[in-house]
Amino acid sequence: MDAYIAALLCMGAAYSVFTIGYNLQWGYTGLFNLSVFGLAAAGGYTSVILTTSAAGGHIGGFGLPYIVGILAGAVMAGIIGAAIGTITLRLEFGFFAIATLGLGKFLIAIFKNEKGLTNGVWGIGGIPKPLSDVAGGYANWAYGGISVAILIVVFLLAQKLVNSPWGRLQLAIKDDEHLTQMLGKNVWRYRMESLVLGSMLMGLGGAMYAHYQGYINPKSYTDIMWAFLPLLMVVAGGSGNNKGSILGAFVVWGAWSVSEIFAGYLPIASMKIPHIRTLVVGLLIISILRWRPQGLIGRKRAVSSSTGE
C-alpha cells in the first residue's frame, strides 16, 4: 500500500506537470496538439542521455545531475515544440491536429531508429533516481517528495502565468479569433509562446517520468499513455484550469493504476485487460464531453457575444 502511494506521488506529479503543459495549449489557447507524446519522449530521452553513462554504442556518459537533466529535457522539448510550431501553426485547426500527429509519430520514429543516439528499441536503463542512494528503501518516497516539490513550483508559475494579462489574452484568442485580430494583436506569436511553454512542461513531465521508471524505450511514450490518457485527465479535471489538470492527473492515474491491481483479481484473461482499460477510458472521455463538458471543476464556457451564427 505504501509502495502504491509512493508510486502514485511520483507518477501523478509527473503527469500533472505534463498535463498542465498540455492544458496550457489546449484549454487556454485552443490548440489541439497531437505531437505531445513525442515531446514527452524528447524530454525524457534528453534528460536520460545527459544523466546516464554511455553503453551499447549510444552516446552518454555526461554524468550530469538530475536537475540539469530534466531542465535540459524541458528546453529540448521546447525547442522541438517551437520547430513543430513554425511548421504547423498557421494551419487550420483540423489540419494542425493531423500534422502534429504525424510529426509526433515522426519523432518517436527517430528515437526508435537512431541507435547511436537512443539505443533504439532496446532503450536506456540505469537511469538515476535522485537521492536513491541516500534514501535506500524509501527511494520512491524521496523521489515522490522531489516530484511534488517540482510540481508545486510549476503550478505556482503556471497560475501566475494564466492569471496574467498574457493568460487572459490566450483565453480571448481561443474564444474569438476575429475579435483579437481586430484588436491587432499578433495571434501567431501568442500561440507560439503557448506552444513552446506547454512543450517545455511536457518535456519536463516526460523527464520526471523517466527518472522514476529507471528504464525507458520508445514504447514508454505511446500515444495512448501520453496523448490519450492525458486527454482524459484534462477533460475530466476541467479544461482551462491548472488545478483541474492536477486533479485530473492524480485521479485518472490513480484509477488507471488501481484498475491494474483489481484487474488481476477478475476472471478475465490478462491479454484482454489493457483493452478493457482503454475502452473504459475512451467511454469516459466521450461521456464527459457529451454530458459534462466542463469536467469536474472546470469553468463554464463563456459565450462570445459576437458569434450570432
Partner 1 sequence: MLGSILDGIILGCMITLGGLGISYVLLLQNYFNFTGGTFFTLGAYMALAFLGFIPMGSFPLVTFGPGLILALLLSMVSMALIMTAVDKLLYRPLRERGSPFMFFYLTAFGMLFVFRSIIYLTWGAQLKNYVSGIPTYMRFAGMSITWDEIFVVIATIVIVAILYYFQYHTKLGKGMLATANNSELAEMSGIKNRDINTLTTIIAGILTATGGVFYGLTIQLRPMMGFTLLMAMFFAVVTGGEGAILGTFGAGLIIGITQEFGSSLLQMLWDATGVPIQMGGYKATLSFLLLVVILIFQPEGIFQGTPLEK
Partner 2 sequence: MAAENSEEKEAAETKADRAGEPLLEVEGVTAGYGDIDVLFDASLQVNQGEFVVLIGPNGAGKTTLIRSIDGVIEPKQGKVTFAGEDVTYETPADMLERGISTVPQEGNIFTDLSVKDNLMMGAYTYEGRVEKRLEMVYNLFPILKERSDQEAGTMSGGQRQMLAISRGTMVDPDVLILDEPTAGLQPNLVTDVLDAISRLKEEENLTILLVAQTEQAIPMADWGYLLRSGEILVDDRAGDLLDNDLVSDLYFGG
- State the residues that interact with partner 1 by CB under 8 A: 26, 30, 32, 87-88, 91-95, 97-99, 101-103, 105-106, 109, 112-113, 224, 228, 231, 235, 271-272, 275-276, 278-279, 281-283, 285-286, 289-290, 293, 307
Which residue number, 269 or 303, has a Cβ lying nearer to partner 2?
303
Residue 10 interacting entry, from partner 1, partner 2, none, C-beta within 5 to 8 Å by type: none
For the CB of residue 306, give the shortest distance to partner 2 in the complex, in Å.
8
For the CB of residue 181, give the shortest distance to partner 1 in the complex, in Å.
17
Q: Does 137 bind partner 2 (CB under 8 A)?
A: no
For the CB of residue 307, give the shortest distance to partner 1 in the complex, in Å.
8
For the CB of residue 139, give the shortest distance to partner 2 in the complex, in Å.
55
* SS3 letters across the chain: CHHHHHHHHHHHHHHHHHHHHHHHHHHHCCCCCCCHHHHHHHHHHHHHHHHCCCECCECCCCCCCHHHHHHHHHHHHHHHHHHHHHHHCCCCHHHHHHHHHHHHHHHHHHHHHCHHHHCHHHCECCCCCCCHHHHHHHHHHHHHHHHHHHHHHHHHHHHHHHHCHHHHHHHHHHHCHHHHHHCCCCHHHHHHHHHHHHHHHHHHHHHHHHHHHCCECHHHHCHHHHHHHHHHHHHHHCCCCHHHHHHHHHHHHHHHHHHHHHHCCCCCCCCCHHHHHHHHHHHHHHHHHHHCCCCCCCCCCCCCCCCCC
Residue 124 interacting entry, from partner 2, partner 1, none, C-beta within 5 to 8 Å by type: none
Residue 305 interacting entry, from partner 2, partner 1, none, C-beta within 5 to 8 Å by type: partner 2
Which residue number, 176 or 223, has a Cβ lying nearer to partner 2?
176
Which residue number, 270 or 305, has a Cβ lying nearer to partner 2?
305
Which residue number, 113 or 304, has a Cβ lying nearer to partner 2?
304
For the CB of residue 307, give the shortest distance to partner 2 in the complex, in Å.
7
For the CB of residue 301, give the shortest distance to partner 2 in the complex, in Å.
12
For the CB of residue 65, give the shortest distance to partner 1 in the complex, in Å.
33
Residue 55 interacting entry, from partner 1, partner 2, none, C-beta within 5 to 8 Å by type: none
For the CB of residue 113, give the shortest distance to partner 2 in the complex, in Å.
44
Residue 285 interacting entry, from partner 2, partner 1, none, C-beta within 5 to 8 Å by type: partner 1
Please provide residue 48's backbone torsions phi and psi, each rounded to the nearest 5 degrees: -65, -45
Q: Spell out the long-range contacts of 81-88 with Cβ–Cβ below 8 A and sequence spacing 24 or more.
A: 81/39, 81/195, 81/196, 81/198, 81/199, 81/200, 81/202, 81/203, 82/192, 82/195, 82/196, 82/199, 84/33, 84/35, 84/195, 84/199, 85/191, 85/192, 85/195, 85/196, 86/192
Residue 83 interacting entry, from partner 2, partner 1, none, C-beta within 5 to 8 Å by type: none
- Which residues inside 248-307 make contact with partner 2, applying CB under 8 A? 303-307
Which residue number, 33 or 242, has a Cβ lying nearer to partner 1?
33
What residue ranges bind partner 2 (CB under 8 A)? 303-308
